[in-house]
Amino acid sequence: MRMLLVQPPQGTSFGLTRILTSEPLGLECVGGALRTRGHDASLIDLRVDSWESLERALDDPPRAVGITCAFTTDVLPVREVASFVKERWPELPVLVGGHHASLLPDDFIYPDSPVDAVAVGEGEFTTIEFAEARERGQAPEGVPGILTLRNRGNGFRSRPFTRELDELPAPTDRSPRPIGAGTTTGFSRARPPWRPPAAVFDCNFCSVWVFYDRRAGRRSPASLVREIETLEEQHVFFTDVIAFLNHDAYKELGERIAASGIEKMYACETRSDLVVRYRDLFRAWRRVGLTTIFLGVEKVDDAGLAEVRKRTKGGVNTNVEAIHILREEGITPMTTFITDPTWDEADFDRLEEFITRLRLPNASFTILTPLPGTELYAARKHELTTLDYGYFDVMHCVLPAKLPLERFYERFAGLYRHALRDTRPSFAMVRRAVQLALGGSFWVMRRVYGAVKEVRDPRAYLRSPMRIRAPRRPLPGRPFSGPASPSERPAEAG
């Protein structure tokens, strides 16, 4: 069976999101899974491809279309893509999967929705069985993990998560991006519990551990090295939510990379307490190419860490120690912080003082956002000032601000001005810019400049979020069914 996989347009292009267009690894994994069973899978990424490319792909319609919805801000773009498909081929099945769709399938499963089914949970085997049911002419409701209007109230069967990730087919058609972290790969999935069992990583603003029900799966180091050897990109980002959580596994992985002679540059995201606990491991990884770590510092005092349930062992002192360790080992710490709409002037002052004291030119900032599917959302959804998913990009206030909103954004934009004022481009950044310019992609540098300018401008935060609208026009030889705009029902979840 032939299936078309679609990455929707990015639901937000505000600030730094416009320069972080990552590889569509999820769809590449699903495509690889389909091909192992003899199916034909093609992929269109509407973040970089045009609507015309999707239109051409539909001229010879596939047997089904799969769309991913990983982020809350992607909900409306996904509906637009689904409507675009249905406008041309009303009987063509549309399947939506991904993180947000799995946690909030009601955003897509409702009467008159352009979406026929949602793949809840991991998509590889669910999509294979969906395709095979389609080939046999069977209804998809019998497939574990497939949710439709028919089985939503009764008959839906969940699919267990895969714990041994080596069992999953390898992704195909790898497509690195001109902007972002090169190519991506993953050693593990989920945000698992940490030993001892009483201590877990379950920040209340994060939905990853909710999605995976506190369980985790991991690949073998040998399998991951074999994949890295096939990657053409020099820069590799590990997509693990918490890299280096399993000391022995990462130790073996680093040793295997060193023994293989692979020469690449690696980046990942991890926790401060792991950096402090496993300093020797990070030192060893620096020798095999680990250059950058995104470090979720989040807050600058222990009370703030407790509010988001960060569970950093040792609190703020551990965050400070981890930053020093990474610098001493030659690894760049890319620190991230969460601001809170309840902050006053003194709170912003404390964060600025922390950044200045630790000399953090690479810091980035978000606004505390109760994302649907998180415990924070369940606890505070009654406080939301909007249900418009376009604002749920963690760069806008969706909770009441203590300061006047204009002043809050002045202080928030000021954090970026403060953090970016001493930033100097590295030799690698300059070299990359030259490569892009010589390759005819100087637009990338213009986009980076525009993104940095935007996050420093408080007026930009007051503008309405972007709206994705698919082109609406009749096609030659086909009746025009009229506008198929997304459902305007409230985006309330559960």
The CATH number of residue 254's host domain is 3.20.20.70
Give the residue among 106, 186, 152, 196 at the shortest CA–CA distance from 490.
Answer: 106
- Identify the pLDDT of residue 159: 87
φ/ψ (deg, to 5) at 423? -70, 130
For the record, the structure tokens of 143 come out as 């497939």
SS3 for 363? coil
Query: Which domain range does residue 407 map to?
Result: 340-464
**Is 361 found in the same domain as 438?**
yes
Residue 410 and residue 314 share a domain: no
Q: What is the pTM of this model?
A: 0.83
Same domain for 320 and 355, yes or no, is no
Residue 359 lies in a domain: yes
Bridging pattern class, strands 94-97 and 64-68: parallel
The residues, any chain, with a CB within 8 Å of residue 93's CB and separated by 6 or more, are 63, 64, 65, 116, 117, 134, 140
Residue 412 carries which side chain, given as an amino acid letter? Answer: F
Residues 230 and 101 in one domain: no
Residue pair 219/166 in contact by the 8 Å Cβ criterion = yes
* Residue 22 sits in the same domain as residue 115: yes
> Coil, helix or strand for 340?
coil
Phi, psi of 220 (to 5 degrees): -80, 150
Distance separating alpha carbons of residues 351 and 340, to the nearest angstrom: 11
Residues 185 and 305 grouped into a single domain: yes
Pairing mode of beta strands 217-218, 188-189: antiparallel
Give residue 168's pLDDT. 63
Residues 192 and 69 in one domain: no
CA 427 to chain centre: 28
Contacts of 39 (CB under 8 A, 6+ apart): 1, 2, 3, 128, 131
pLDDT at 431: 52
Instruction: Kindly state whether residue 472 falls inside one of the protein's structural domains.
Output: no
Same domain, 356 and 406: yes
Is position 474 within any domain? no
> 174 lies in a domain?
no
User: Is 163 inside any structural domain?
Assistant: no
The answer to whether residues 219 and 188 touch, using CB atoms and an 8 Å cutoff, is yes
pLDDT tens digits for 284-306?
999 999 999 999 899 899 888 88
- My answer on whether 346 and 317 are in the same domain is no
> Token pair of 389, please?
């998913």
Angle between helices 75-88 and 51-59 (to 10 degrees): 40
The single-letter DSSP state of residue 200 is: B
Domain shared by 408 and 317, yes or no? no
Helix (H) / strand (E) element for 338: namely strand 332-339
**Residue 22, in any domain of the structure:** yes
- Tell me whether residue 453 is in a domain: yes
- Give CA–CA dist 306/299, Å, rounded: 9
In whole angstroms, give the CA distance from residue 370 to residue 203.
Answer: 12
Residues of the chain with pLDDT under 70: 16-20, 162-218, 421-447, 449, 473-494
Q: How many residues does the structure list for the chain?
A: 494
Per-residue pLDDT tens digits for 162-206 = 655 566 666 666 565 544 445 555 555 443 433 333 345 556 666
Tally of domains within the chain: 3
Task: Identify whether residues 24 and 110 lie together within a single domain.
Answer: yes
pLDDT of residue 362: 81
**Structural domain contains residue 164:** no
